[in-house]
């Protein structure tokens, strides 16, 4: 599966309501809305009227990795939120109710293992597809991920085409009666 082409007339804006782990404003609330420079007064939220789109929460303490992954997933047509640590991920997941969580494991404050366990224990988030995106590839790390409740395990750097195929298959499963 390949990502949808981006309209060359569009550029992307983000609101800055999120703080990075270092305390500086960055990234922010997604979805990232395309804005038409030829019609700047148009309602940008109209871009996300994708009723069948998956909601994807991207969680990584590496802000650049988080934003880069979120941008690629957004370009492919999914609705995306970002979180830069475990506590923020849990709070956003309860509010955003993602279908899929792309979750780093090695994070400060709360590991991805603990986040996965808490999401599985919460009735609002227990059915989300949990995909580990991590640099930890030892057999113990993988076994611990399965025990924590992850559904899939991908090593960084992740193959974006494989990841988008995985998201597309999840969307296909949702569409089947």
pLDDT category at 60 given cuts 50, 70, 90 is very high
Cα–Cα distance for residue pair 104/119, rounded to 1 Å: 14
Comparing 36 with 141, which gets the higher pLDDT? 141
Residue 4: pLDDT above 50? Answer: no
Model confidence pLDDT, tens digit, residues 149-171: 999 999 999 999 999 999 988 77
pLDDT category at 177 given cuts 50, 70, 90 is low
| Strand partners for 80 | 56
pTM over 0.85: no
Region label for 28, one of left (φ > 0), alpha (ψ between -120 and 50) or beta (otherwise): left
Task: List strand residue ranges (DSSP E) for the chain, in order.
Answer: 11-15, 29-35, 55-59, 79-83, 100-103, 129-134, 152-155
């Amino acid at each position: 599966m390949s990502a949808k082409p981006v309209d060359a007339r569009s550029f992307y804006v983000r609101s800055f309501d999120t703080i990075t782990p270092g305390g500086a404003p960055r990234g922010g609330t997604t979805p990232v809305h395309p804005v038409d420079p030829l019609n700047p007064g148009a309602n940008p939220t109209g871009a996300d009227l994708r009723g069948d789109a998956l909601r994807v929460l991207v969680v990584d303490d590496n802000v650049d990795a988080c934003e880069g992954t979120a941008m690629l997933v957004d370009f492919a047509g999914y609705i995306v939120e970002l979180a830069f640590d475990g506590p923020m991920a849990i709070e956003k997941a309860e509010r955003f109710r993602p279908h899929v969580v792309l979750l780093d494991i090695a994070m400060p404050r709360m590991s991805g293992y603990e986040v996965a366990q808490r999401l599985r224990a919460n009735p609002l988030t227990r059915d989300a597809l949990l995909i580990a995106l991590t640099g930890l590839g030892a057999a113990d790390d993988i076994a611990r991920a399965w025990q924590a409740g992850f559904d899939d395990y991908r090593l960084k750097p992740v193959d974006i085409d494989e990841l988008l195929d995985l998201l597309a298959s999840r969307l296909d499963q949702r569409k089947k009666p």
